[in-house]
Amino acid sequence: MIIVSNIVKKYGNKIALDNASLEVKKGEFVSLIGPNGAGKTTLIRILLTLMKPDKGEVQILGENPFRNKRIFKEIGYVQEIPNYPPFLTGRQVLELSAKIRGVDKSEVKRVLEFVEMENYANNPIIKYSKGMVQRIAIAESLLGNPSILIMDEPNMGIDPIFSLKTRELLNKLKRKDNVSILMTSHELEDVKKLSDRIFMIYKGKIVFTGTVEDMVKKF
Ligand code: ADP
Ligand code: ADP
């Protein structure tokens, strides 16, 4: 579903990705972990075609996403707690997003149900907890039923009880075998419970690839 081959990316002289390669297979839940500054965000921005690599190749669903913009429709992206307009309701946010993406309006109901936010959908965002905003963000990424989900720190800055809810949702997503998921996380508990495989990145290099069991054995 995703193949990243030997990507190099520099900011001036600073190397952010140093010959990084990874692969996400169909239905797989993969986590990308590593300390701050390791290159996680840079890799995600390249996958979202927001930035071109200096060297190397990206393939998504067998295509080069920089050449075939249609591929972008197959990717749902969840960012770390988005800044939605505070006075719009959750439903309005999703309706707007569906419109922009050219996704049928009926999708809004489906994704609200998936994240269990139907009962709060008519409240303004300003009344939501961070966890609820995050659930709307996850709902947004699911509009149009993309086959790939990219999630940047989906559990960051959320209080434990809501974090539990997010984790439950991530588990529910993992069980959908037609969706491949790439998540970045600092939260080792999530990573251990959810990941089929883990990629560890350090100073722009992928320094470890394997299952959770492999990781526990090694470190
Ligand atoms: P992570 O997401 O793992 O924290 P990043 O991809 O944000 O890592 O950053 C990788 C490296 O590239 C870091 O050393 C960071 O300081 C540097 N970097 C990221 N963005 C820029 C930028 N726009 N200009 C210069 N350096 C950057
Ligand atoms: P994260 O750890 O979530 O990647 P960062 O705080 O590292 O977040 O980066 C936030 C933003 O700042 C990113 O858009 C990144 O590209 C940019 N950035 C990071 N490091 C630098 C840097 N040294 N110079 C310029 N921009 C940077």
ipTM of the complex: 0.72
What is the predicted pLDDT for the residue at 69?
86
Q: Name the token pair of 15.
A: 């190397």
What is the predicted pLDDT for the residue at 161?
58
**Closest ligand to 38 CA?**
1
- List, in sequence order, every residue forming a beta bridge with 10; answer none if it has no partner: 15
- Whole-angstrom CA distances from 23 to 3, 6, 156, 188, 197 are 5, 11, 24, 21, 10
pLDDT(195) > 70: yes
What is the predicted pLDDT for the residue at 1?
94
36 lines ligand 2 (CB under 6 A): yes
Cα–ligand 1 centroid distance for 42 (angstroms): 6
- Please name the residue whose Cα sits nearest to atom 14 of ligand 2: 41
Helices 90-101 and 130-142 cross at an angle (nearest 10°) of: 30
Residues with CB under 6 A from ligand 1: 11, 14, 16, 34, 36-42
130-155 mean pLDDT: 91
Per the CB < 8 A criterion, the answer to whether 5 and 56 are in contact is: yes
Alpha-carbon gap, residue 20 to 15, rounded angstroms: 11
Candidate from 14, 15, 41 with most ligand 2 atoms within 8 A of CB, to mutate = 41
What is the predicted pLDDT for the residue at 62?
94
What is the predicted pLDDT for the residue at 162?
58
Nearest CA-CA partner of 47 in 138, 122, 134, 152: 152
HSE of 42, CA atoms in CB hemisphere, 13 A: 25
What is the predicted pLDDT for the residue at 209?
95
pLDDT(165) > 90: no
What is the predicted pLDDT for the residue at 58?
96
Nearest CA-CA partner of 143 in 84, 91, 87: 91
Q: How confident is the model at residue 15 (pLDDT cuts 50, 70, 90)?
A: very high
| Mean pLDDT, the chain, integer | 91
Alpha-carbon gap, residue 58 to 13, rounded angstroms: 22
Cα–ligand 2 centroid distance for 42 (angstroms): 9
